[in-house]
């Protein structure tokens, strides 16, 4: 099975003001005259990490990684104002123009798959193809599956769900998202942090097929708070997309080569979404692998590295 490429460091970093409030952090890795690819991270709000650079052959790719608004090293950290899907799509274009790239491969997992599809559909002439993983189409039923009592994920990970649910009083559990938002937006920072830790405690340890349900997160509390608030902000607004928009507008990108990698046992972004995308986009290749949600599981990493290598072989 294929594994990640060896660790690399950026050969160039940029800061890009995209409006009066937000400034993005951007990294370039690999080969300056290589095949351009833009890496769109998940979350929303998770930010980029050194591991994300390693899904691409650094000898063949010019790898561009962007900390989205409010994420990672972009500023202001955790900011929700001016932070919508449409803003992020516009930002990706500004990064492309800054770097003088005509067209690039678009790569994203989880929320990054949502943003990849939204960007490519808005700018199909700027994409050479797409590789998406752990597909999330931004639909209300996908949010309900993972976050609400009438979803399905609570039946799979009952230990984690009970801790997520226990943070909310019984009379507010009919709308867990709004109940959590009430606490994530509370005036008391301690209340906000406790809610964020419960929110991400449910998510983070449901990400892999095999995991310790009792594991505690070592993430910095303020990082946890920023990510949880950005996620809840997007989910409360149905990811700022019309219902079914990414499937509705699929014809805009059907001419592009596409690879869809999906964990068969992904509980966070279940396979139904990848299947629906593949049915709407029959020209794309769907590969179901024996894994959960995380890109770092062996079968998913293998499929993704094979996909990036195959794209480079064709270029």
Cis peptide bond prior to 76, omega within 30° of 0: yes
> What is the C-alpha to C-alpha distance for residues 310 and 301, in angstroms, rounded to an integer?
14
Exposed/middle/buried for 271, CB within 10 Å: 0-12, 13-18, 19+? Answer: middle
Could you confirm whether 266 is annotated as catalytic? yes
Cis peptide leading into residue 44 (ω within 30°): yes
Residue with tokens 């593949």: 278
Give SS3 for 242. Answer: coil
CA-wise closest residue to 105 among 141, 71, 75, 132: 132
Question: Is 41 assigned a catalytic role?
Answer: no
C-alpha pair distances (Å), 314 with each of 99, 125, 129, 308: 23, 18, 11, 10
Q: Catalytic: which of 71, 74, 110, 113? A: 110
Q: Write down the catalytic residue from 52, 123, 233, 293.
A: 293
Answer yes or no: are the C-beta atoms of 71 and 96 closer than 8 Å. no
- Residue 211 annotated to the active site: no
Of the residues 41, 266, 273, 302, only one is catalytic, namely 266
Active site residues: 110, 266, 293
């Amino acid at each position: 099975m294929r594994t990640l490429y060896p660790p690399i460091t950026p050969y160039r970093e940029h800061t890009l003001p995209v409006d009066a409030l937000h400034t993005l952090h951007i990294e370039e890795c690999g080969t300056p005259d290589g095949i351009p690819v833009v890496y769109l991270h998940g979350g929303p709000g998770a930010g980029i990490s050194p591991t994300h650079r390693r899904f691409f052959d650094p000898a063949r790719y010019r790898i561009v990684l962007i900390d989205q608004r409010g994420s990672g090293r972009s500023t202001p950290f955790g900011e929700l104002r001016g932070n919508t899907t449409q803003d992020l799509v516009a930002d990706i274009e500004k990064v492309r123009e800054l770097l003088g790239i005509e067209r690039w491969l678009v790569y994203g997992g989880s929320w990054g798959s949502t943003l990849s599809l939204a960007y490519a559909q808005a700018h199909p002439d700027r994409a050479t193809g797409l590789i998406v993983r752990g597909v999330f189409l931004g639909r209300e039923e996908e949010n309900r599956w993972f976050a609400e009592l009438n979803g399905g994920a609570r039946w799979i990970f009952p230990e984690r769900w009970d801790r997520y649910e226990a943070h909310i009083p019984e009379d507010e559990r009919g709308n867990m998202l709004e109940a959590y938002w009430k606490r994530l937006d509370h005036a008391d920072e301690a209340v906000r942090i406790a809610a964020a830790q419960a929110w991400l405690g449910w998510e983070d340890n449901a990400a892999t097929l095999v995991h310790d349900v009792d594991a505690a997160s070592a993430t910095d509390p303020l990082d946890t708070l920023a990510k949880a608030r950005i996620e809840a902000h997007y989910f409360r607004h149905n990811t700022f997309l019309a219902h079914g928009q990414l499937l509705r507008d699929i014809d805009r990108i059907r001419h592009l080569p596409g690879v869809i990698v999906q964990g068969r046992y992904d509980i966070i972004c279940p396979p139904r979404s990848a299947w629906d995308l593949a049915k709407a986009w029959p020209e794309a290749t769907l590969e179901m692998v024996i894994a959960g949600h995380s890109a770092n599981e062996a079968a998913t990493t293998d499929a993704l590295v094979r996909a990036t290598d195959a794209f480079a072989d064709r270029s």
